[in-house]
Structure 1
Amino acid sequence: MKQEIAIYWMRRDLRLTDNAALHHALKSGYPVLLLFIFDKHILSKLPSKQDARVTFIFDTIEQLNLDLNEYGSSLLIKYNTPEGAWAETLSAFNVKEVYTNHDYEPYARERDDTLAEYLASENIIYKTFKDQVIFEKNEIIKADGKPYTVFTPYYRQWQQKLDAFYFKAYPVQKYLKDLLPITIKNKLNLEDMGFERSMQKFPTKHFEDKLQTYEDKRDFPAEDATSHIGLHLRFGTISIREAVRAAITQKAHKWLSELAWRDFYMMILWHFPHTIQQSFKPAYDNIQWINDEADFEKWCNGNTGYPLVDAGMRQLNATGYMHNRVRMVVASFLTKHLLIDWRWGEAYFAEKLLDYEQASNVGGWQWACGCGNDAAPYFRVFNPELQAKKFDPQNKYIHQWIPELKQQKHVEPIVEHAFARERVLKVFKEALNQ
């Protein structure tokens, strides 16, 4: 008779500390086996075999396995579809309960609903928990029971509701003695999955020293003044509760509001999953985009002739990161100066950004285009040259990524600002008046 166990399915919560589902699993009364699945459905869609995020996940998983070895346990690592991995796992172990944390993306919801049905058919209890946000789904809603679609009133209620209960850490460490004692020889490597090791450098988890100056310096891309924890929040190597505790301790109000924006966009994606492909404001899907592929390629490569736009795109291509202020400028430029569909830009960011988060990325692109909830109005067209003068007055950031500009050798602008502004206002107005 095989030993009865519980499984904690690790996904975007790659840590053994302050982890909701892991904490509840360890208190289940069953010894707990940790499972991670390299999902073939997701990996097969990645265009680059050197995707740095796969390297980051792989290295993080290897380290977690070493940490588990210290407690006499191992991480069960699968490279398969979720359906295939779970079939293998249930045939190998006598699983009584499965624990995991919520994921709000449409693919993940469909995957988890399928798993719930499968486990129910096998008489296995399935429990899921909130972990990657402070407030989720219907926890912050309007008086009429509908979700907020504007951030400011949402954030007001978010702040009112926030108390220590919501950001208290789960004391996982106390219960790690209840892990399943097992030794598993994991022989999987990146090459087995068709990937090559990326040489990309990853940001550290240390962000506290940035909080005091964040509000004053965050808009200046030449300053190393942002926290760089997007990657760690995306894959859960840092707990959102830890981030909020630090913000409150240091009275970093602006940074706290940025964490709330993340909750807000997750909530929007939950209630309006169609927005990953459709504009939140349906009239914007009437826009007659030009979608010039040559212009798009120049934008991708940082060759538009607008230094701030080009510096941002080159930073993204070289590092997998782009400064937040510059993200707004390049997104506005693509959609409004070049009249290229926001979905093209969103997909490019999805391919390149280390910290790619579907909810925030879709929300940010729709905001810049003007078609989202709580969006910048369509007639607000960022002037990249004025943005550069305001936020990179000495051209430090621009010269870092476009050194040839010092010799006046940068390419000519592919479109003139005043012409582009007039054109986009006309095109958007026509679409919205249909």
Structure 2
Amino acid sequence: QLVVFKQRADLTAGSSLSLIASHAENYNQRKGDYDISAEDNGYFINTVDTENSALELRLHYKTALLKTVSGLYYSEDKLRGTSSSVDLPYTISGLRLRAAADLAADRNATTKAVYSEADIHLGSRWTLTLGARYEENQADNHSALTVTGAQLMDPVAGSTVPADFSAVLKPILDSDNTAPSGDAVFLPKVAISLDITDQLSGYFTRSQGYRAGSVDFVSEGESPSYGPEYTNNYDLGLKFQQGSWFVQASIFRIDYEDMQIGVRVDASNFRTDNAGEARSQGAELEFRGELGAGFSVFGGIGYVDTAFIEYEDDGVDYAGNHFPNAPRNTANLVVRYENSRGLYADLSWSHSDGSFTDRENSDRLRADSRDLFGARLGYQGEQMGVELYGQNITDKFYITDRFNSPSLGIDAAYVGDPREVGARLSYRF
């Protein structure tokens, strides 16, 4: 559920005030095999209930030489999550048990920010952009694990003895943890752009990015916290615009400090590490334009090279390794037809190189490269619309993630969506 309220008031000929209020609620429940194996090693039911409320006030001001926006932002986020494990094998003091437990996690967070950005025209062709954002984040985090049942397993038959042994596990596994987290950050931005000709312009941007720290919810011991992530971002590019055609090319570099890295704990769970330093650099090209007779095209290509510069965990040095799930080359292309009677059709292609799925860069755990094709054919009137569509129409089989654990006897592969064809009907009122 999502509700958004927007209100705008013109104060003077060059200034206006905007108010944006929103409230969103989301509920999700998922049942799955605990260890993704053929064996009967239990299952889980995960439930996540989130709620977000946000309020933003923006002041816009514009003259012939200056264009600014300034604002105040406040939001509240509430999360309630539970994970129920059922019939999970567990060994303690030589006893083999099937256990059931509930993990509950709560997070209440607030974000406060003040920001401003201004475009300053320096003559007829130069524009200087200055911006800044100050943000504070605070969160109360709580997690608790409760063993709800345990039965002794017959080591020969594999069946369970109908008696409750949860009293054996509760003193070891039951936990109740509270961990606050919070940080504050100041993020500046500076950019300069030059109109080289009426169609061609160049720009350079230097900005700082940030992602708040938090706490990982775990089933044993204290909930480990991880710190915020900071980035220094650099972009250098060219833009070309003539008629319906637009082309933009850029090179970029991102320097990370305390980068947040998801480290797989088991087949279904991750914890978060802070890498010391890392970097990402590459180039991008995007374009769009009309071909005539109702046809148009848009697409892009991207190249990115990633590397940990300073990152050590449990005595293992990951410096020089690439980021997980970071394909080096990507591309996409869409050809579209549309006429004045409301008929339209398009063909799409996307490509992604294979990539490592773990910080160790294990060759046996690589995701596959893939070329995916899609198509749409439809009609859109003033109110009624109908569309036939196809995704992954060649039914390409490709692996998106892998997980291997010799201790658990698991060698799992996660695969991409198969071919999907369908129809959509829409009505506007």
TM-score of the superposition, structure 1-length normalised?
0.20
Rg larger in structure: 2
TM-score of the superposition, structure 2-length normalised?
0.20
Larger RCO: 1 or 2 (CA < 8 Å, sep 6+): 1
Structure showing the higher helix proportion among its residues: 1
Structure showing the higher strand proportion among its residues: 2
